[in-house]
Structure 1
Amino acid sequence: MTISVRDVLQLSVVNAALPQVLAGAHRLDRPVRWVHVSELPTIAGLLRGGELVLTTGMALDTDDANAASYLESLVDADACGLVVELGATLARVPDVVVAAAQRYEFPLIILRREIRFVEVTQVVHEMIVGEQYSHIEFARDVHETFTALSLANATADTITKRAAEICGSPVVLEDLAHKVLAYGAASNSPASLLADWEQRSRLSTDRHGAGGEVWLGVPVGTAGGHWGRLVMPDPPQDDRPVRMVLERAAQALELGRMVERDRVNLRFQAEGSLLGDLSSGSIPEIEAITRARALGFRPGATYIPLVIRVHLDSTDSTMAVHRRTKRLAERAAHAGTAARMSTLTGVWGEREVAVVIACPSMVSEPDLLGRFCEMLHRGQAAHPPAEVVGVGRTAGQLTVAAASLREAGHAAEVASATAHRSPKPYYRIGELRVRGLLTLLADDQRVQDFVESELQRLLAHDAQTGDSLVDLLRIFLTAGGNKSALARRAQLSRPALYARLERIEHILDIDLADAESLLSVYVALVAYEQRSATRR
């Protein structure tokens, strides 16, 4: 607990001197970094900020201008208060000093009885040093706790729950799309903690903001590569200890993520490395075939590049995603073996596996792809399957086919957001139309800026009011702008429907009867939904 000016005044040794606050009463909770006893009129030059100055008033026993200047110098030095002992040196604090303290809202306290200042400094300094030692002990315990969790390869759930236990307050791990990955509820009900989480998280603010709940957030991930955030709703006033806990927990989460990523089977590391070199075009065909043969790959007449992408559940932690990706790589390799195909298989990203299939000349591509997908999904209870397969362009050279893995990855990424509409064994980028184009441009900041410029006001309105106008706009666009079809699907009366559409037009400042406006909003909405889907 930080020691404040109020805490000092409540000490028995100070209270016995009958302290009286003349100014700055509402700022008595300012922390005291140190207590300084001085009669020098130039004491401000020796201060570093946060000091409580004790004096018998010699520096105030002068003309009004110098007395006021003394008080102002303490304010400029960021002292936390001035305590003046009245007595033989000074019978009363000059009015100009009191007025200056009131003007600057600076704590000014008088003591009506004499006390030994050395007793005050001894008690306060012991408290400050004791508090600093407690902070050091606390920091050591926190460091040891999360180091042990890292060495034990603890899950994200375990790390987050331990952080909540140490802080004695709920802690939530969320991704960049404000989806909950793990949480520690402490004594709170998970239902109340996580209710309307995404909306509340979007509207939350730090202590210096306004509008939403006050939350403390710490990014998770390396600089420039953040993938999540540890959040504490309603943090304590002095958030330094809990911030330290969250920062150490964030480090443990990132270390666990890195370890999990490095745990991939050596075979997949080697084949994945080769696929990476092939896709970048950094090696010639003869070297590619040589390295592939060394890994047990049998060359074919043509080569088919695939990327398999894992579907995520809202409850999946980052660690769970890595484990599922590793298992998917194992299943993909097994599917190739079961279908009697020669394949190169490697982990392609956090949630993707790349495969290049050698295709004999006598086997048709659709038959081969169908067999591979059947083997891949065999024994999987989920329907549609728990992953999607994107297919690149088939080529007669291994390097040319591998260069199309990026295209296959784009197809899988788009399909992961749309597969539930029309599930298929595999997808090609050309079949995905505008969604395919937007996925190819997904990392372009200009596309993201376009989405925000088109939809930000409507998204903010929904977050603040819960009106679900974005959902209504989605149905309207899906219905091709047909209001009759929209009324049937939305189950709204015509007057209510028209009123909501007018509200959308007013918020977005567009005319929904204008074809170009409809096109812009539709493209922005598709891009927004794809971005949200790929972060789940």
Structure 2
Amino acid sequence: MAGGIKLDVMDARGGTLTLVEVLELDPVALGQPRLLSGVADENRSVRWAHVIGQDRPGHMLEGRELILSTLPRLAEDRPDLEDALEQYLADLDAVGAAALAVEVLPDRPRLLEALEAAARSRDAQPAAAELTPLLHFSRVVRFQQITEALHWELVARELEADGAERDGTPIWDPMVSAATNLIDDLAAPGGLPAQDMEDRVAALGMPRSARYVPLVVLLKGEPKETTSYRVAQLALGARQAAAHIRRPALVAAGQEAEICVMLAVDEPAGAFAEAGRRAVDTFCAALRTDADRRRTYGLVPRYLVGVAEQFVTLAEAPGALADAAGIARAALRVSARRPRREQNPAESATRQWWAAADLGLSGLLVHIAGQPEAEWFARRHLPVFAGEDGEQLREIVRASVRTGGNKAELARELGLSRPTLYTRISRIERLTGRPFQGESLLLLYTALLLEELTAPGDAAAP
């Protein structure tokens, strides 16, 4: 895991990108940047990025920065617009800026014309290759996402320069890195002395006496959809979601494609109940809003949230987060394997998080499905459903569990007359040699769940 990284120092040991590499970053490429003037090649390096709105940015820069701007001070009605643009570009040339990338929309035709004219003039100069390249985004972009992507990539280069592993390792911002190190230290044998823990918590801006709700956010999808960059994007979204609802939270790196969240609550120890669920609901709603916004740029795939429904101290975080991670992983498998006929579209659209109770018996079985013992169990009990009426008998078992064995309600749910229902129940009893109730019913239901959790043809897409 990334840890102890100082993001504002990228030196010649490797913490730079070429301008060509920057243009290939997802949030940059999505803006379809067009080179108006200058040279964007492997010889021009980028060590940082700034979003600047001033009309004389030179004093703010040190060199080799990518400048992102809408040029807000260069208004259409400004009399000296062309001269101001020339001075702006001269400032960048003087400090050796890596490039200027602007977002100027068609409702500013005078500025667009000035940019084109300035580009032609600069390219005509003998030292054109030494001047700051000028880029124009053809589509609306989010500068924040560009700076985040660039900064994380710069951190990756710095880690590589220091000999650190990068493959499979998410690149986190400093706050996430610090929280990750704290959780790791708490999980180590012996944990942390209480005073050290309190000091580090306070340094991260967390209340010293808070209790926490442990959550794990797990990305869904193929490996190409759960890259370290996208995981880091989701971690940022989790931090922003907590900030939006004004609730302190520690966001840390988890296992592959997971982030851990310790959501601070001002609640005494005790039952999770309404206060805990309200805190999680509010956080998950804010996270969904952020993820939906990012998803429009193809940066964050789908995810689910596992919650250990309890209030814990920070010292208890490692165990509680392990519980939440287990719930999230089981939920991913259960939701992916659940037969389509049993999926509730309304529930799928509104569900924001999973608790252990939501998984039911499948939450246990998903961990053993496919193992020899589970296969033996299924082979022992599934022959009951092997005949032509097998699917009808399956529905009897499933509906009996849902209705608690109430025969009148069972008949109504299945749309069967009482005689027909009793005939089918009698058939199950003859095939099993046991009464259709209690443990016998549970054995059949468990066998059906194992069948569903291992049947490749009846799985829902994750």
Would you call these one fold, judging by a TM-score over 0.5? no
Name the TM-score class by shorter chain: 0.3 to 0.5
Structure showing greater relative contact order (alpha-carbon pairs closer than 8 Å, 6 or more residues apart): 2
TM-score (normalizing by structure 2): 0.44
Question: Max radius of gyration: which structure?
Answer: 1
**TM-score normalised by the chain length of structure 1:** 0.39
